[in-house]
Amino acid sequence: MTFTHHQLDFPGDAPGQTTSLHWYTVGPADAAVKIHLQAALHADEQPGTMALHHLLPMLRDADAQGRLKARFAIFPSVNPLGLATRALRRHIGRYDLETGVNYNRRWPDLYPMVADAVRGRLTADPAQNVKLLRAAVGTWLAEQQPVTAAQKLRLHILKSAHDADIVLDLHCDDESLMHIFTSPELMPGLQDLADRMGVAATLTAEDSGGGSFDEVLPNLYRKAQRDNPDNPVPIAAETATLEYRGQADTHDHLGRADADGLLAFFAGRGLIEADIAPVAAPAPAATPFEATEVLRTSKPGLLAYRVGLGDSVRAGDIVADLIAMDGPQAFLARSPIRAGTDGFILSRASAKYVPAGASVAKIVGKTILPSRAGGYLLED
């Protein structure tokens, strides 16, 4: 049996502070495929942690029965620093309060760090090229000397994930249907994951603009491809951000169902021996993230939605009214917030008092929006 609990204690940024990170490894050490799973990088997003809570004993039992064909690294709550960021009885697990940086932004661009180490050494063997790139990244990571607790945490996560074949980062939205973010090259290859999750949408982008964790490894291989056009370099890590509904959807029965979906995905890949039911219904095909409108307010007010999750809208339809909270018509006037594209409502805001510039809905369409092409695609 290989199911092992790990704990890493690292000093915090103030005297007397220590942070503990807990994770598990399981599966044959000589398995060809490595899988890295993590949840709650945004530490205030707990549905993924609930899913991994249910998945862990499934993997433990499969390991004890010799049914695992891959090695897993599982971080059920990968950001203990974010767990501690509470203020005035509110959990603020999305941002590092010291720097203001979103925990899922500004992850490193790895290829420039290793380009000199691999240049001229790539060959006609794609598997060997992947091995070379992973070794170079591993060497670079081993050379890093992080100072802050956040830097130490990021380095440890990257050391675990950098040589993985499948990397799944479990998140959730505010109030949302299930969906996936991934790289365009990885679809339709990850359609089986979308099907097993039962997502409403899979949104793809090479670069969403924020340096998100799920883009680190595809970007490594993509840049190696472009820098070495005469040598084959596959996108050797299937990475995705899995958005498990909304923050309030942290429930036992949903976590169990989500764990069942992950188990079925791995079993369908032959990475776990298990009997699985057929996919109930295929998920929609992937669409470019640039075709999804992030609908924002132009002024503060109180939201009154006219649509629910999953509702279809057309450009010009009123998604919500914004009730004025100041001015001569305070608490009387309503201003319509209109869809700018045809599509369906993927997410809404749970907090109905919103400032100017707030994101109040994502509308998944099929046509790339000029305002989104080549821009910053994320909500924050």
Domain assignment of residue 337, yes or no: yes
- Provide the sign of the torsion angle of the four alpha carbons 357, 376, 149, 38, taken in this order: positive
Q: Average of pLDDT values for 53-78?
A: 98
DSSP string across 269-293? TTSB----PPPSSPPPPPEEGGGEE
Cis before residue 188, ω within 30 degrees of 0?
yes
Return the C-alpha torsion angle 17, 92, 242, 251, nearest 10.
Answer: 100
Q: What is the pLDDT of residue 3?
A: 97
pLDDT bin (cut points 50, 70, 90) of residue 374 is confident
- Mutual orientation of helices 216-227 and 111-118 as an angle, nearest 10°? 40
Closest CA to 236 of 251, 216, 256: 216
On whether both 307 and 275 belong to a single domain, the answer is no
Domain assignment of residue 379, yes or no: no
On whether both 124 and 253 belong to a single domain, the answer is yes
> Which amino acid makes up residue 375?
G
Q: Average of pLDDT values for 308-323?
A: 98
Q: Average of pLDDT values for 98-103?
A: 93
Domain assignment of residue 14, yes or no: yes
The pLDDT tens digits for 13-35 are 999 999 999 999 999 999 999 99
Give the end of a domain, one of 285, 304, 334: 285
pLDDT bin (cut points 50, 70, 90) of residue 7 is very high
Domain assignment of residue 332, yes or no: yes
Percent of the chain, pLDDT > 70?
Answer: 100
CB 33 within 8 A of CB 236: no
> Which amino acid makes up residue 148?
T
Closest CA to 273 of 64, 38, 103: 64
Calculate ∠ Cα 171-174-177, nearest 5°.
75
Q: What is the pLDDT of residue 375?
A: 84
DSSP string across 124-191? S-HHHHHHHHHHHHHHHHHH----SHHHHHHHHHHHHHTT-SEEEEEEEESEE--EEEE-GGGTTTTH
Q: Average of pLDDT values for 134-159?
A: 97
Give the end of a domain, one of 236, 251, 285: 285
On whether both 311 and 274 belong to a single domain, the answer is no
- Give how far the C-alpha of residue 27 lies from the chain's centroid of Cα atoms, to the nearest Å: 24
Domain assignment of residue 79, yes or no: yes
On whether both 29 and 166 belong to a single domain, the answer is yes
Strand order in the sheet with 318-323: 334-338, 318-323, 301-305, 353-354
Per the structure, the complete domain to which residue 92 belongs is given by: 4-285
Q: What is the pLDDT of residue 2?
A: 92
The pLDDT tens digits for 181-206 are 999 999 999 999 999 999 999 999 99
Q: What does pTM read for this prediction?
A: 0.97
On whether both 230 and 306 belong to a single domain, the answer is no
Residues 6+ apart with CB under 8 A from 24: 3, 4, 5, 6, 56, 59, 72, 73, 74, 76
Give the end of a domain, one of 285, 305, 338: 285
Percent of the chain, pLDDT > 90?
Answer: 96
Q: Average of pLDDT values for 72-101?
A: 94
Q: What is the pLDDT of residue 58?
A: 98
On whether both 328 and 263 belong to a single domain, the answer is no
Residues 6+ apart with CB under 8 A from 300: 325, 326, 353, 354, 355, 356
On whether both 304 and 268 belong to a single domain, the answer is no
Residue 336 belongs to a domain with what CATH number? 2.40.50.100
Q: What is the pLDDT of residue 1?
A: 67
Domain assignment of residue 378, yes or no: no
Q: Average of pLDDT values for 150-176?
A: 98
Q: What is the pLDDT of residue 380?
A: 86
- End-to-end alpha carbon distance in the chain: 43
Give the lowest-confidence range in 93-97, 215-219, 343-347: 93-97
Place of tokens 């057309």: 314
Q: Average of pLDDT values for 265-272?
A: 98
CB 158 within 8 A of CB 150: no
The pLDDT tens digits for 125-136 are 999 999 999 999
Q: What is the pLDDT of residue 234?
A: 98
On whether both 256 and 332 belong to a single domain, the answer is no
On whether both 218 and 169 belong to a single domain, the answer is yes
Domain assignment of residue 371, yes or no: no
> What rounded mean pLDDT belongs to the chain?
97
Q: What is the pLDDT of residue 354?
A: 97
On whether both 45 and 150 belong to a single domain, the answer is yes
Residue 217 belongs to a domain with what CATH number? 3.40.630.10
Q: How many domains does the chain have?
A: 2
On whether both 255 and 296 belong to a single domain, the answer is no
Q: Average of pLDDT values for 240-263?
A: 98
On whether both 299 and 331 belong to a single domain, the answer is yes
Q: What is the pLDDT of residue 284?
A: 98
Domain assignment of residue 20, yes or no: yes
CB 182 within 8 A of CB 161: no
